[in-house]
Amino acid sequence: MRRTAKYAPLAAAAAALATTLAAPADAQRRVELGIDAAAVFGLGDQSSVNINLPGSRFRMGFFQPGSRISIEPAVGLAYNKVEGADGIFRYDLELGALYHFRPIIIATADENVITARATTPYVRPFVGLIGLAGGESDDSEVSAGIGLGTRIPWRNALAWRLEANVGYGFDNEAARIGVLAGLSFFPR
């Protein structure tokens, strides 16, 4: 029972995402594709540092028509194998909802190019599932947190994205402080 309750927040987030993606096809969908480098510092009984460069996760944001909200699933996958030991697969699945403090201004220079024209600050609450599979350790943990960041225009259809966040892992009862630096692409 405890294991099922542990995944309830993630199941609710997945249901919300499915509902969002099932919106009418006539609504003009804007999408943000991105990749982030990350540094995460774990606090608690067993402190940790995890730095991933140049990219630790891929994200895909779905802007809601007529709203300042975008829904953003993200995934990070890694596999480590050392000679003489079993390989370990690490996964990081996350679902966030960004609230943009100012309207997203996306201007079309022509029909093929979309450009973010203004720096856009946002807040991002999120839930995630982090886990290891393989070796002697098969473990997973649900986490939740909130981030504060900004999107800075760079070139046509490209923007930098910077975020600081804080999260909490429910299984190991530890706080995490994270920093993300990424690049976003806005396809037409």
pLDDT in tens, 139-165: 889 999 999 999 998 888 899 999 999
Q: How confident is the model at residue 48 (pLDDT cuts 50, 70, 90)?
A: confident
Token pair of 164 as six digits: 């600081």
| CATH classification number, 2-21+32-185, choose in 3.40.50.2300, 3.40.50.620, 3.30.470.10, 2.40.160.20 | 2.40.160.20
Q: Does 187 sit behind a cis peptide bond, omega within 30 degrees of 0 on the bond before it?
A: no
Considering the entire predicted model, what is its pTM?
Answer: 0.77
Question: How much is the pLDDT for 84?
Answer: 80
Q: What is the mean pLDDT of the chain?
A: 80
Question: How much is the pLDDT for 116?
Answer: 54
Does the pLDDT value for residue 58 go beyond 60? yes
10 Å CB burial of residue 96 (0-12, 13-18, 19+) is: buried
Question: How much is the pLDDT for 120?
Answer: 87
CA distance 67 to 12: 21
Question: How much is the pLDDT for 20?
Answer: 47
Q: How confident is the model at residue 96 (pLDDT cuts 50, 70, 90)?
A: very high
Question: How much is the pLDDT for 113?
Answer: 44
Does the pLDDT value for residue 22 go beyond 50? no
Query: What residue spans define the domains of the chain?
Result: 2-21+32-185
Question: How much is the pLDDT for 117?
Answer: 59
Question: How much is the pLDDT for 54?
Answer: 82
> Of 172 and 124, which is predicted with more confidence?
124
CA distance 143 to 95: 11
E strand spans, the chain:
30-42, 48-63, 69-80, 88-100, 106-110, 113-116, 120-133, 139-155, 158-169, 174-185
Q: What percent of the chain has pLDDT over 90?
A: 41
Candidate ranges 36-50, 56-70, 95-109; pick with highest mean pLDDT: 56-70
Token pair of 10 as six digits: 């993630």
